Amino acid sequence: MLVFAIAIHTPQDPDTWWHLRSAEHTLTQGIIRQDPFSFTRAGEDWLNHSWGGQLLLWAAWKAGGDLGLALFTASLAVLGMMVVGRMLAATAANAHLRAYLLVFCALTASVFWSARPQMLSFCFSAMTLWLLRRGGRGRWFLPLLFILWANVHAGFAVGLLYLALSALASGYDAFTNRWRLPRVRASHWLWLIAACLIALCLNPYGAELLLIPLRTLTLSELHTSIREWQTPNLHQPTTWPFLCMLALTLSSLALSRRRPPSSEVFVITATTLMALWAGRHIALFALAATPTLGAQLAALPLPRRWRLPPPPRMSAARGWAHLVLVTLLGLGVALYTAASLAEERIEEIQSAQFPVAAVQHLRETQPAGPLFHTYEWGGYLLWHAPNYPSFIDGRTLLFGDELLAAYRRAANGDDWSALFQQHQIRLVLIRRNSGLDRSLRRLPLDWERRHLDETAVLYARREG
């Protein structure tokens, strides 16, 4: 229930909305192969790798609106934490330590949680780690998992990374033991990796889908313009659980009597580097580090009085006390959820982040486009003002470095005139007091301000 409380919040991710629009298009017109939503890339090839995850997201929206989106996120977060709990249960950590670490993991990973198909990648990443840690024949469930993964989100690259690191760790162990570990042969890993690669090709786009993660990583503007792809700001409180978990993991690896398997060390090292490189990967570090942290802490050479006591034997009185506490906790979580997802609260949060009032003005007055807008609002406009094709939105791979860089300069108030002329921009919807707002404000004879609120400002080009 604590994990659920950590995960439940008002949907406010900018990408949620274009995922919903894509799902709606898929349901009505089939699998998307060319861009149907923007005017800057209209008709160009686009691989909608999240189509399956988008349909699940759309179903959640259809069932409960914003509440459905919040429950979609929280349910997948809880599912991922349940898998982490299974990995912790296989360690020597007692029940108290496992419970604390599970909440710690949720606090660390929650910076990633939002109403997007990538939540499915979060769950599948946890399942992949669990199957690899179990070993044996359980690994052969991975191709089945990868078939699903290939059809919901391109985060399958993380699963391939875990698989490759486990294979390398197996080879390293065999080498350092002078090849005396024949139980997992190289051919086993080769066949498993080949089976997973074939499984990933079972999607509407075929083998071309495998290139999506590589193409995404080659976008230089990704790390310049997109916050979740930037190095995490360690001064923000939301990243402090990550810092604490990283410090505790490194300390436990150094001080514990347990020698972790090479595969755990390889995966933790890789996910640490990934998390420091891009904030969106913090959740992957939490998944990889938490089970190892539990095992290491359980093996620390601590005096008996410093150790967490094992759970006491459950008596009838203690059972009733636990039932009362769980009931009160459940009631508290329910009240917190109701308060967090109250209609007034949702409207307040979304109005501060999205151009809610400005979009309502657009829908009422229907001024002629094309429309230039803030990057983060592209998805919101696609869902809430579908008559206006986007200039740019969260599908960064579609738009590419050149347009992303041109947008960034224009939004800052630089080099916007040529860009507007190139795309015949007639409407501009941007953040109030942004660089572009200040530039257009100085040109009242050319640009008329049609709407202004605390979040957004709408300009229309004057004719003649």
Summarised one tens digit per residue, pLDDT across range 413-438 is: 888 999 999 999 999 999 999 999 99
Residue 5 to residue 339: CA distance in whole angstroms? 12
Nearest to 96 by CA among 358, 232, 298: 298
Radius of gyration, CA atoms only, the chain: 25
Whether the pLDDT of residue 179 is over 60: the answer is: no
Residue 72 to residue 406: CA distance in whole angstroms? 35
Q: What's the whole-number average pLDDT of the chain?
A: 88
The pLDDT, as a whole number, for residue 313 is 67
Q: Which of 16-25, 31-40, 47-56, 168-177 has the lowest mean pLDDT?
A: 168-177
Question: How many Cβ atoms are within 10 Å of 345's Cβ, its own excluded?
Answer: 15
Predicted confidence band of residue 310 (pLDDT cuts 50, 70, 90): low
Q: Cα 398–399–404 angle (5° rounding)?
A: 145
The pLDDT, as a whole number, for residue 1 is 66
The pLDDT, as a whole number, for residue 368 is 87
Higher-confidence residue: 177 or 52?
A: 52
Convert the pLDDT of each residue in 381-400 to its tens digit: 999 999 999 999 999 999 98
Whether the full predicted model's pTM is greater than 0.85, yes or no, is yes
Cis check for the bond before 370: say yes or no (omega within 30 of 0). yes
The pLDDT, as a whole number, for residue 299 is 83
Residue 303 to residue 442: CA distance in whole angstroms? 71
Instruction: Say what percent of the chain tops pLDDT 90.
Output: 59
The pLDDT, as a whole number, for residue 99 is 87
Average pLDDT over residues 342-352: 80
Residue 433, amino acid: N
The pLDDT, as a whole number, for residue 305 is 58
The pLDDT, as a whole number, for residue 39 is 93
Average pLDDT over residues 185-201: 89
Domain boundaries in the chain?
2-306, 312-346, 354-461
Residue 129 to residue 287: CA distance in whole angstroms? 8
Question: 121, 115 in Cβ contact below 8 A?
Answer: no
Predicted confidence band of residue 188 (pLDDT cuts 50, 70, 90): confident
The pLDDT, as a whole number, for residue 218 is 86
Q: Which of 156-170, 213-227, 287-301 has the lowest mean pLDDT?
A: 213-227
The pLDDT, as a whole number, for residue 2 is 72
Convert the pLDDT of each residue in 200-226 to its tens digit: 999 999 999 999 998 888 888 888 878
Convert the pLDDT of each residue in 449-461 to its tens digit: 999 999 999 999 9
